[in-house]
Amino acid sequence: MNVLTVVGARPQFVKAFIVSRELRPQHNEVLVHTGQHYDEELSDIFFDELGIPEPDHNLGVGSESHAKQTAQMMVDLEELISEYQSDLVLCYGDTNSTLAAAIAASKMDVQLAHVEAGLRSFNRNMPEEVNRVLTDHASNILFTPSERALEQLKKEDITDNVRNVGDVMYDSLLWAHEKASKQSTILEDLNLINTDYLLATVHRPRNTDNRDRLGAILSPLIEDRRPVVFPAHPRTREQLSHYDLLKKAKDELILVDPLGYLDFVKLQAKANVIVTDSGGVQKEAFFLSTPCITLREETEWPETVEARGNILVGANSELIREALLDPPYPESDAQPYGDGAAASKIVQALEDLQ
């Protein structure tokens, strides 16, 4: 098979590398990085750590409005799909890079496969929700991370070539957790050995681009007696500065640049509690049995809440405080996201469906 894989943002590097490792021994893969993320800490570090081969192409689109960013990716992807005469375009998740791959491929003579299909937050104000729905409806082959996602696709009349393979991020996490336990020195580096601490990430525009919400999230973190490690996405650092909150955050939190995957996984595994608005981090917390407080009103990963490992608190300071005092611990051994072998199931299914 000639596969053209499209990635562009941090979580996609984490999802794609584990599938590439299964795919490459038997098939030709052309790896295209759209350049949606371009900072060293959001991009190159993942390629180095995860042993991902250099992308065959980096489209270098950078940061733009949604339409400009997506359109530029589509133009370049269309050319590459033609040039390589790809049999299949493989895309991941719900970013603008995912949508660009979906729209470009679905109008060409090539199959489109979507990994992480069927997820819904049911909040159409999130750009990611629009990207997910459109990508699922444009895809020929869909891989869901859970039974619920498979059922959701059925409700939307998408039933052909759908496979529930489990979550590829579970595969990645299992690999990284073992490696990080041996290699990462982040706890020593941050003076956190045998110390209780919180880990927090915030990057959703709904939280970062609103002073009240960002302030309401920061207050309970600053009040907590435990150190708080806060790896700040560039968007978040910029907005902290814009709202005059940066100095306070620097003084009161352990504010660091975005971390590499291995260091971040190690921090997640050892944290008392994780506070986040990230999709991927909610799940990784769940896999690692670390309590998670989610700074959103809804989630596309409801199984983590049902298993009582995650609580949704929005940007409500009081609810965050309460959850920090009485964090959610998973009460069951439920494994809604498969067995950690999603990548090999994906490659097997792609071969079967050719």
Residue 11 within binding range of ligand UDP, rule CB under 6 A: yes
Contact 101, 153 (CB under 8 A): no
* Separation between Cα atoms, residue 19 and residue 26, nearest integer Å: 12
Q: How far is the CB of 316 from ligand UDP (least distance, A)?
A: 20
- Largest separation between any pair of C-alpha atoms in the chain: 58
Should residue 8 be labelled a site residue for ligand UDP when binding is judged by CB under 6 A? no
When CB distances are held under 5 to 8 angstroms depending on the partner's kind, the choice from ligand UD1, ligand UDP, none that residue 264 binds is ligand UDP
Q: Which does 261 bind (CB under 5 to 8 A by kind): ligand UDP, ligand UD1, none?
A: ligand UDP
Q: Say whether 233 is catalytic.
A: no
Task: Tell me the three state secondary structure of residue 300.
Answer: coil
Cβ proximity to ligand UD1, 187 vs 281, nearer residue: 281
Q: Are 80 and 32 in contact (CB under 8 A)?
A: yes
Selected from 8, 279, 330, 336, the binder of ligand UDP by CB under 6 A is 279
95 versus 304: smaller Cβ distance to ligand UD1: 95
Measured CA distances, 185 to 94, 189, 235, 269, 313 (Å)? 32, 6, 27, 13, 32
Q: Does 338 bind ligand UDP (CB under 6 A)?
A: no
Unique residue bearing structure tokens 């809604």 = 336
37 binds ligand UDP, rule: CB under 6 A: no
Give the C-alpha separation, 45 to 126, whole Å: 27
Residues 6+ apart with CB under 8 A from 236: 202, 203, 208
Least spacing, CB of residue 96 vs ligand UDP, in Å? 12
Among 278, 294, 304, 310, binds ligand UDP (CB under 6 A): 278
Is the CB of 149 or the CB of 192 nearer to ligand UD1?
Answer: 149
Q: Provide the annotated active-site residues.
A: 203
